[in-house]
Amino acid sequence: MAAAAVYLPRVIAPAVARRSSIAPALIAAPCRSSIGTPSAHCLAGNLCRFSSTAPSPPPVVEIDGRSYSTDTWFNTPTNVLAAASRRLHLQEDHPIAITRQIIESRFPSAEFRSVNSLHPVVTTFQNFDSLGFPPDHPGRARSDTYYVNKDTLLRTHTSAHELETFRANASPGFLLSADVYRRDEVDRTHYPVFHQMEGARVWDRRTQADEKGDLTATILRDLAALPEHGVAVEDPNPPFHDGTNPRQVPQHAASEVEAMGRHLKRSLELMVVEVFSRAKKAKQLAVAAVGTEAETVAADEPLRMRWVEAFFPFTSPSWELEVLYEGDWLEVLGCGITKQPILDAAGVPSQMAWAFGIGLDRIAMLLFKITDIRLFWSTDERFLSQFRGVSADLDKLRLFVPFSKYPACYKDVSFWLDGGDGVAGTVHNNDVMEVIRSVAGDTVEDVQLTDTFTHPKTGRQSLCYRINYRSLEKTLTNAVTNRLHSDVKDMLVRRLGVEIR
Ligand code: PHE
């Protein structure tokens, strides 16, 4: 059984490696994908110095044109606040917007209304309570989420808008794309801001059920109207798993859940076939231009998909869809049958729904073969010019051609957690990441915890991090990297109260 998920993992990495702990460097990453996992990032003890030593927040902050009062929960750095007005998913010819358009193109627009400009600041009710997250859920931690104040945060997923969109009840389905925010690692596949699309499809018992009040026949009729895709799909799962991944009793009949699961799966398979066929075509074109024979064979690999069981607080049963991509199974999306209390609270208790969530950045990285997530935020013409005209004609999609790879510059920083005052302390991995990113911005490519050490006599604990400074746009001089690294060290001392070794 797969671990209970809070969110879909964001790392573009083989699903197998993440599940079976083969790749420690990867699973050292987000602890938030598993409910109940102790905070793997809280590296020692339980006294977090970050909150006590962070500078006092500005009383009011402006986020994408609106003002908010802060309190001691505020933990959002300026670079993240600034990103809130970028709206990359709406920027014509941007890879994130193109990816959104490709996904949208696979859902009939008469049924699925697009909702693409919702403000990123939401309440804890919207982001967590409305979806059934328990009060002690790890996803609520300040170490993982950007708060504006105790009750207000930058949404961590597009599911935050499910309740209000179900309530609006404006169409049988919706596709909702937006920027989302999470505190996390620093590496080439993680950025504090990324994009998701939430999709849902509802059926209404009042108007679509048979004389017994059952929706099965209507859903099966809608399923029969969906096209076939002819791609191999492994799905060894039963329609639901009483006990571990149950249907919702008494509201949902077994036949309804089975029919709705099939409609959901076929709809999402069709969308994924569209995305990966476009990725394959772009790759074939690139290989045809300059490729080797081995690359030609790889580009012709048939598409394969598989369904695995998953767990989300707001759907039951739930699944994830994985795609075989260059020899590895990749998790592409999470989905399931919407928990009935959400529809009840939305004032549409006669409706039954499926919902899914997909990360747009990771799909865009695959589609265009963009290997560094920071590039999405670049305003460099050498990046943006490569996608001109694609929004208007999706067939113009081509792989990204890296314009340059500037040299990496690795620097280590080691520090004592006790800050030299002898009082045992701890820091959260995400706090270290945040401090480094807030000083070095997009010139930091990757940060790894490389060593933890406990002094045998004194018991003092220290951590060592390796930072890779590499600009996407120019070669960094030694003087510049040294200054950045020295500023990073100063800020670690000031913000986290540690002592540099
Ligand atoms: N919100 C989930 C995430 O962030 C994805 C999801 C959406 C899962 C809708 C099920 C239904 O990973």
**Mean pLDDT for all residues in the chain:** 89
* Of the listed ranges 38-42, 63-67, 153-157, 266-270, the one predicted with least confidence: 38-42
pLDDT computed for residue 291 by the predictor: 83
Q: Parallel, antiparallel, or unpaired for β 147-149 and 232-234?
A: unpaired
Average pLDDT over residues 404-425: 89
Average pLDDT over residues 457-461: 93
State how far the Cα of 475 lies from the Cα of 132, in Å rounded to an integer. 48
CA of 350 to the centre of ligand 1 (A): 23
Average pLDDT over residues 225-243: 94
Domains, the chain, with CATH or none:
3-22+76-396 (3.30.930.10), 406-501 (3.30.70.380)
Confidence tier at 18 by pLDDT (50, 70, 90): very low
* Of the listed ranges 123-132, 282-291, 333-342, 437-446, the one predicted with least confidence: 282-291
Q: Is the pLDDT of residue 307 over 70?
A: yes
Q: Within a 10 A sphere around the Cβ of 199, how many other Cβ atoms?
A: 25
Bridge partners (DSSP) of residue 333 are 321, 358
252 lines ligand 1 (CB under 6 A): no
Average pLDDT over residues 340-351: 98
Q: Is the pLDDT of residue 114 over 80?
A: yes
Q: Is the pLDDT of residue 73 over 90?
A: yes
CA of 359 to the centre of ligand 1 (A): 9
315 lines ligand 1 (CB under 6 A): yes
356 lines ligand 1 (CB under 6 A): yes
8 lines ligand 1 (CB under 6 A): yes
33 lines ligand 1 (CB under 6 A): no
Confidence tier at 10 by pLDDT (50, 70, 90): low
Task: Write 7-10 long-range contacts (CB < 8 A, 24+).
Answer: 7/32, 7/33, 7/139, 7/156, 7/157, 7/182, 7/334, 8/33, 8/320, 8/331, 8/333, 8/334, 8/357, 8/359, 9/33, 9/331, 10/182, 10/184, 10/189, 10/190, 10/194, 10/359, 10/361, 10/362
Q: Whose CA is nearest to atom 4 of ligand 1?
A: 7
CA of 199 to the centre of ligand 1 (A): 10
Q: Whose CA is nearest to atom 7 of ligand 1?
A: 357
* Of the listed ranges 15-24, 140-149, 262-271, the one predicted with least confidence: 15-24
Residue 330 has φ and ψ, to the nearest 5°, of -110, 135
CA of 393 to the centre of ligand 1 (A): 30
Average pLDDT over residues 349-372: 97
Average pLDDT over residues 349-358: 98
CA of 457 to the centre of ligand 1 (A): 48
Average pLDDT over residues 339-358: 98
326 vs 472: which has the higher pLDDT: 472
Pocket test for ligand 1, best of 159, 307, 335 (most atoms within 8 A of CB): 159
Q: Is the pLDDT of residue 324 over 60?
A: yes
pLDDT computed for residue 292 by the predictor: 82
Average pLDDT over residues 207-219: 98
Over the range 354-363, which residues count as b (16 or more CB within 10 Å of their CB) and which as e? bbbbbbbbbb
pLDDT computed for residue 20 by the predictor: 28
pLDDT computed for residue 55 by the predictor: 60
319 lines ligand 1 (CB under 6 A): no
State how far the Cα of 206 lies from the Cα of 213, in Å rounded to an integer. 8
Confidence tier at 315 by pLDDT (50, 70, 90): very high
Average pLDDT over residues 25-34: 26
355 lines ligand 1 (CB under 6 A): yes
317 lines ligand 1 (CB under 6 A): no
Residue 177 has φ and ψ, to the nearest 5°, of -110, 145
Confidence tier at 422 by pLDDT (50, 70, 90): confident
357 lines ligand 1 (CB under 6 A): yes
Confidence tier at 445 by pLDDT (50, 70, 90): very high
Q: Whose CA is nearest to atom 6 of ligand 1?
A: 357
pLDDT computed for residue 420 by the predictor: 79
107 lines ligand 1 (CB under 6 A): no
Nearest one of 93, 130, 102, 100 to 115, comparing CA atoms: 100
User: 77 to each of 62, 67, 74, 376, how far by Cα in Å?
Assistant: 12, 16, 9, 19
* Of the listed ranges 194-198, 253-257, 309-313, 325-329, the one predicted with least confidence: 325-329
Confidence tier at 406 by pLDDT (50, 70, 90): very high
Confidence tier at 28 by pLDDT (50, 70, 90): very low
312 lines ligand 1 (CB under 6 A): yes
450 vs 404: which has the higher pLDDT: 450
State how far the Cα of 33 lies from the Cα of 10, in Å rounded to an integer. 9
CA of 355 to the centre of ligand 1 (A): 8
Which numbered atom of ligand 1 lies nearest the CA of 357? 7
159 lines ligand 1 (CB under 6 A): yes
State how far the Cα of 167 lies from the Cα of 230, in Å rounded to an integer. 36
pLDDT computed for residue 259 by the predictor: 98
pLDDT computed for residue 297 by the predictor: 72
139 lines ligand 1 (CB under 6 A): no
Rounded to the nearest angstrom, the gap between the alpha carbon of residue 95 and the centroid of all alpha carbons in its chain is 16
Average pLDDT over residues 21-47: 27
pLDDT computed for residue 404 by the predictor: 86
Q: Is the pLDDT of residue 431 over 70?
A: yes
157 lines ligand 1 (CB under 6 A): yes
Average pLDDT over residues 174-186: 97
